[in-house]
């Protein structure tokens, strides 16, 4: 574009931004102590509007870069990757900027409002998403209405209004529209649900999870109840915890308590057993000794914690002679009992096919001397095999020696 002034050639927006940078740099040390309450509040509002205008201009400039194929000119895999080569921003921030440019390019009312500082970037994205879910005949009116509401509601509240926008422009279809949006949102949430955890070998397990909002609310409710001061004082004594709001540490402790308290008999079975953690210890440890105990997952426990879990939590203390459980039932039944399964799992740990380390919880119990040929259902003649090797064993008739 031709020069816009006699002294400053270039695109008018480029000139404007350059001037703004220069003027702002001249005030980096200007003190704010002379601002009164009204002026301070007004300054913050103005800054928010300027930030929104700059964000719109930035998004539009990124769209222009795509039109000029600047990412392709340097072999960048995407626009956001190219943008990150220019400025040190995170991948998420680069992606949001590029996406905002695309969204505003097809929603002129929202783009104009953002350019004027009347709509913040996160509000603009909410408006675009809500409008795009509507039938074409409703979009212009809905976009106009949501832009006006953006002056009074943040992005979270605006999203709710967007979901119910048909109550304003087409009340007869409002409930149907909201139900459809919620179903789609829940389906997306289920698709993106994740959970991962790992041990750091320092006595801690770390993890990350993503849950649908409904299940997240359930978990938050449960942890809040366990972390509530009233509950903590009742279980740990007065003065133990008196904060009005649970701290992250207390919520973490509540999560640990939640895991211990969850009834194992309500969990699905794995390997024919409830998902029950087994603590192996000597009788001396159970009665107060100092020898460490062990979980069937490979984690070691202090004697004190082992005794507490054996007393309070949903575990099974696997102590020799405990509860006089019968582990050898002879020919009285074909399938191994839960007590036998626990004993076999503790002894063999994993699939007994050489080279296979499938954990006991995912294995079948195989009769080394087959039941139909007169074999007994006991622990001595039982072998753990993963489903694949168990089926292979029966298909080929080839037995594998028990690993030690």
Specify whether 55 is located in the same domain as 140: yes
Residue 186 forms part of a structural domain: yes
State pLDDT tens for residues 223-272. 887 777 655 555 555 555 555 567 788 888 888 878 777 665 665 555 44
Confidence category of residue 39, pLDDT binned at 50, 70, 90: very high
pTM of the model: 0.51
Domain count, the chain: 4
Specify whether 71 is located in the same domain as 172: yes
Confidence category of residue 133, pLDDT binned at 50, 70, 90: confident
Specify whether 303 is located in the same domain as 158: no
3-state secondary structure 114-159: HHCCCCCHHHHHHHHHHHHCCCHHHHHHHHHHHHHHCCCCCHHHHH
CA distance 142 to 126: 12
Specify whether 159 is located in the same domain as 169: yes
Residue-range definition of the domain harbouring residue 280? 262-324
Which pLDDT score is estimated for 45?
92
Residue 7 forms part of a structural domain: no
State pLDDT tens for residues 136-158. 888 899 899 999 999 999 998 99
Specify whether 381 is located in the same domain as 335: yes
Specify whether 133 is located in the same domain as 93: yes
Residue 98 forms part of a structural domain: yes
Specify whether 147 is located in the same domain as 48: yes
Specify whether 146 is located in the same domain as 100: yes
Task: Give CA separation, 138 vs 125, 132, 184, 345, in Å.
Answer: 18, 10, 20, 63
Residue 324 pLDDT > 50, yes or no?
no
Please calculate the CA angle 176-177-181 and round it to the nearest 5 degrees.
120
Query: Checking phi first, is residue 318 left (phi over 0); if not, alpha (psi -120 to 50) or beta?
Result: beta
Which pLDDT score is estimated for 227?
77
Residue 286 forms part of a structural domain: yes
Residue 21 forms part of a structural domain: no
Containing 316, the helix (H) or strand (E) segment is strand 315-318
Specify whether 357 is located in the same domain as 244: no
**SS3 category, 194:** strand
Residue 31 forms part of a structural domain: no
Specify whether 313 is located in the same domain as 335: no
When pLDDT is averaged across residues 301-311 and rounded to a whole number, the result is 62
């Amino acid at each position: 574009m031709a020069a816009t002034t006699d002294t400053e050639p270039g695109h008018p927006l480029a000139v404007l931004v350059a001037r703004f940078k220069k003027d702002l740099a001249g005030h980096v040390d200007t003190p704010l102590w002379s601002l009164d309450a009204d002026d301070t509040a007004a300054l913050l509002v103005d800054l928010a509007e300027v930030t929104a205008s700059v964000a719109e201009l930035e998004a539009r400039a990124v769209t222009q870069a795509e039109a000029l194929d600047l990412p392709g000119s340097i072999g960048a895999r995407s626009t956001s990757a190219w943008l990150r080569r220019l400025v040190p921003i995170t991948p998420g921030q680069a992606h949001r900027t590029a996406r905002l440019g695309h969204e505003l390019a097809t929603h002129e009312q929202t783009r104009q409002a953002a350019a004027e500082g009347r709509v913040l970037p996160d509000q603009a994205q909410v408006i675009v998403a809500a409008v795009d879910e509507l039938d074409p005949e409703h979009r212009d009116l809905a976009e106009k209405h949501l832009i006006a509401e953006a002056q009074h509601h943040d992005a979270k509240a605006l999203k709710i209004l967007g979901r119910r926008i048909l109550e304003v422009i087409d009340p007869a279809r409002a409930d149907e529209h909201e139900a459809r949006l919620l179903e789609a949102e829940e389906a997306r949430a289920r698709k993106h649900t994740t959970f991962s955890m790992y041990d750091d070998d320092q006595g801690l397990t770390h993890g990350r999870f993503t849950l649908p909002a409904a299940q997240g609310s359930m978990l938050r409710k449960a942890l809040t109840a366990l972390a509530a001061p009233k509950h903590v004082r009742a279980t740990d004594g007065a003065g133990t915890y008196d904060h009005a709001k649970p701290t992250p540490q207390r919520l973490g402790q509540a999560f640990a308590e939640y895991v211990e308290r969850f009834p194992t008999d309500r969990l699905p079975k794995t390997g024919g057993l409830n998902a029950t953690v087994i603590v192996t210890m000597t009788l001396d440890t159970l009665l107060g000794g100092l020898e460490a105990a062990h979980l069937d997952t490979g984690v070691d426990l202090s004697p004190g914690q082992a005794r507490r879990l054996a007393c309070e939590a949903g575990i099974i203390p696997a102590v020799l002679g405990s509860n006089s459980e019968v582990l050898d039932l002879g020919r009285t039944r074909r399938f191994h009992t839960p007590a036998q399964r626990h004993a076999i799992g503790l002894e063999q740990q994993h699939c007994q096919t050489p080279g296979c380390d499938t954990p006991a919880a995912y294995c079948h119990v195989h009769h080394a001397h087959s039941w139909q040929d007169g074999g007994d259902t006991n622990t001595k003649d039982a072998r753990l095999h993963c489903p694949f090797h168990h089926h292979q064993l029966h298909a080929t008739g080839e037995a594998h020696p028990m690993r030690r």
